[in-house]
Structure 1
Amino acid sequence: MNNINEIVASVQKQPETFEEYLISYAEQVGELVNSYIPEGTHPDMERYLYKPLLAYSKNGGKRHRPLICFAACQAVGGDMPRATSAAAAIEHFHTAALIHDDIADEAELRRGEPCMHLTEGIGLAINAGDLALSLVNGTVMNDPLLDDATKVRVVTELVNMTQHTIEGQALDIGWARDGRYDITPEDYLVMATHKTAHYSGAVPLAVGAIIGGGTEAEIEALRNYGLDTGLAFQIQDDLLNLIGSEESMKKDFRNDITEGKRTLIVVHALQNSPDRDRLIEILSSKEKDPAVLAEAVAIMEESGSVEYARNYAENLTSIAKNRLTDMVKPSPSRDLLVSMADWFVNRLK
């Protein structure tokens, strides 16, 4: 693996757009994140725990959480290497959340590969997710670059982030278990903000700013920006799962319908579609037939729900972008974070 310092140095050379930032550095940051996964003291620990977790983490996504943590640190004039452990910690939390989420949803694929609970069994998958969770606070507490006060503040952020995510997950799972179709868009926004926006936007940005020595005003401005764009990120993912052209080439395309997820598009359609009963029937049946999934999408489009969600996300990112430019001084890193909002909107079109 490349030297960690070399990876950090390369990421400091920021491209002009957020998309280029992701494309340029996802692989290097993935190596950095994986460098924090330890090795077992017994061969079978490797076989049943560390290797499955490492393999899962290597099949990573765009690594936007650690990358925006780095950008926030630099946006307030901080030293990016000091944010390395926190950036990795948040990505390990993401890994744990996905492993456990897939078990709860009885999902089959993650990033085009069979879910860990299918390849390793539910027990070992839960255990691997627990290991990833243990790496979150430990990674920060063991960082020699951070002083004790900063460690305590960052870990407090991570603990609160964990609680928020679990609260959102409880709503998501509970609604599905109880066959709840009375969920409103307002309910969805509470769930998605807790389940996704805190750990996918708010906390990576706030933690980066804390480690970078930002003012309280800068930290809160970046946190609020992360809440808004993190929520837009989730709405965007929900849309792409239904109508994204790239997603349509994947085997898990439209699996949100199969899993009966209460996305913003779905809950809006349940309130506004004359075909509500048929939509509930499809959402309740774990349907996989592409024709039936397409029928569900047509119901959502005809009720204006796809357009409603798209507009909601676009408005969120537009307002968030204006607030950020008002509160954080100009810099290439701030411009990169502004570009993140633009990237979200462009992917929705």
Structure 2
Amino acid sequence: MDNINDIIAAIEEPPETFEEYLTRYAAQVGTLVNSYIPQGSHPDMDRYLYEPLNAYSQNGGKRHRPLICFAACRAVGGDMARATSAAAAIEHFHTAALIHDDIADEAELRRGEPCLHLTEGMGLAINMGDLALSLVNGTVINDPLLDDATKVRVVNELIEMTRRTIEGQALDIGWARDGRYDITPEDYLVMATHKTAHYSGAVPLAIGAIIGGGTEAEIEALRNYGLDTGLAFQIQDDLLNLIGSEESTKKDFRNDITEGKRTLMVVHALQHSDDRDRLIDILSSKEKDQAVLAEAVDIMETSGSIEYARNYAENLTSIAKNRLVDMVRPSSSRELLISMADWFVNRLK
């Protein structure tokens, strides 16, 4: 439990910024998460299943979901060691979602590495995603630190989280499949809230508060905070794909345009741009030429859609921070979560 003890110490005396918190403890949380991936009873189970999944999970990004779960638990005065299995469960769900999402989108890169379905084959990649899904509820059910009533409530949260994410994914894929260009910003917000905000913000925070013994008011305040900041996180991710300076050297830069994604910038531009027909042509063509992709970004910039999305994300987080201050007791963990909102929307600056 050395990793969790280090994380507990970090949140009791957290770094000044959320970004520093992630940088300092992402690797430790990753080790903690991966410790829940089992081994097979036959060597080829490891070869074709457990080892590739483990390697994929080790390239795990910033681990913000388990880290905010721990912070929420601490913010309501709970013991973060009891939140370990739930935090890992959410990260395993994230792994499953990414594997399946990349297959659905016919993506080529994930975090700078070839996608799992390209390195291991479609069938094995689907199977690994299914395994990661199986770890979500099982990880919590088998936790000896949690009482049965807490397990049932947490698993119910995870089940609802899974359903909502799949609903959002259905909208995202369906709109692209059917060539839908009648999507409004309001439609996008429903899709992104379901696809991302529940599992990237609301549920990690709510589960952390549930396990930490928070009041119902605290649990719902943290859930709502996660919905708003999680939505802002997705909008900012979409912006980074289009105009992020560091991402411009990666081969998956602007692949949201190639895949015809209905991002907030796209759906706003479809309603406001004089070059709507040209934008539809680009989105429909699976275009990879960087010059053409840049043309699509110029259309969104000219129509004010980039600025619209950036302002929307910033307004979401500003209001959310004020609400959290009113509803959750003062603590270093609360301040850390407030810093999280700023990090979510300032990654372009």
TM class, shorter-length: over 0.9
Deviation at 1:246, TM superposition (A): 1.2
Aligned to 1:255: 255
**Structure 1 segments of 4+ aligned residues over 4 angstroms from their partners:** 2-11
CA distance in 2: counterparts of 1:7 and 1:41, whole angstroms = 32
Amino acid at match of 2:119: T
CA distance in 1: counterparts of 2:333 and 2:156, whole angstroms = 25
Contact 1:310 1:348 in 2 (8 A): no
CA distance in 1: counterparts of 2:293 and 2:327, whole angstroms = 44
Contact 2:233 2:345 in 1 (8 A): no
CA-to-aligned-CA distance 1:159-211 (integer Å, 9 cap, x gap): 00000000000000100110001000000000000000000000000000000
SS at match of 1:134: helix
Aligned to 1:24: 24
Aligned to 2:287: 287
Contact 1:229 1:317 in 2 (8 A): yes
Aligned to 1:193: 193
CA distance in 2: counterparts of 1:274 and 1:326, whole angstroms = 44
1:230 is the counterpart of 2:237: no
Amino acid at match of 1:150: T
CA distance in 2: counterparts of 1:308 and 1:318, whole angstroms = 15
Deviation at 1:4, TM superposition (A): 4.5
CA distance in 2: counterparts of 1:325 and 1:99, whole angstroms = 36
Contact 1:7 1:29 in 2 (8 A): no
Amino acid at match of 1:147: D
Q: What does 1:330-349 align with in structure 2 at a 5 Å threshold?
A: 330-349=330-349
CA distance in 2: counterparts of 1:212 and 1:6, whole angstroms = 16
1:135 is the counterpart of 2:150: no
Deviation at 1:7, TM superposition (A): 4.6
Aligned-CA RMSD value? 1.1
Contact 1:14 1:333 in 2 (8 A): yes
Aligned to 1:99: 99
Aligned to 1:33: 33
CA-to-aligned-CA distance 1:60-118 (integer Å, 9 cap, x gap): 11100000000000000000000000000000000000000000000000000000011
Deviation at 1:8, TM superposition (A): 4.3
Aligned to 2:315: 315
Structure 2-normalised TM-score?
Answer: 0.98
Number of aligned pairs? 348
Contact 2:37 2:54 in 1 (8 A): yes
Deviation at 1:16, TM superposition (A): 2.1
Contact 2:241 2:247 in 1 (8 A): yes
Q: What does 1:102-113 align with in structure 2 at a 5 Å threshold?
A: 102-113=102-113
Deviation at 1:330, TM superposition (A): 0.4
CA distance in 2: counterparts of 1:346 and 1:127, whole angstroms = 37
Aligned to 1:241: 241
Structure 2 gap segments, 5+ residues each? none
Aligned to 1:148: 148
Aligned to 1:65: 65
CA-to-aligned-CA distance 1:198-228 (integer Å, 9 cap, x gap): 0000000000000000000000000000000
CA-to-aligned-CA distance 1:4-52 (integer Å, 9 cap, x gap): 5545445444212111110110000000000000001111101110011
Structure 1 gap segments, 5+ residues each? none
Amino acid at match of 1:166: I
Aligned to 2:302: 302
SS at match of 2:346: helix
Aligned to 1:164: 164
Aligned to 2:326: 326
Aligned to 2:278: 278
Percent identical pairs in the alignment equals: 86
CA distance in 2: counterparts of 1:8 and 1:336, whole angstroms = 13
Amino acid at match of 2:224: N
Deviation at 1:346, TM superposition (A): 1.9
CA distance in 1: counterparts of 2:106 and 2:346, whole angstroms = 31
Contact 1:7 1:32 in 2 (8 A): no
Aligned to 1:52: 52
Amino acid at match of 2:143: D
1:208 is the counterpart of 2:188: no
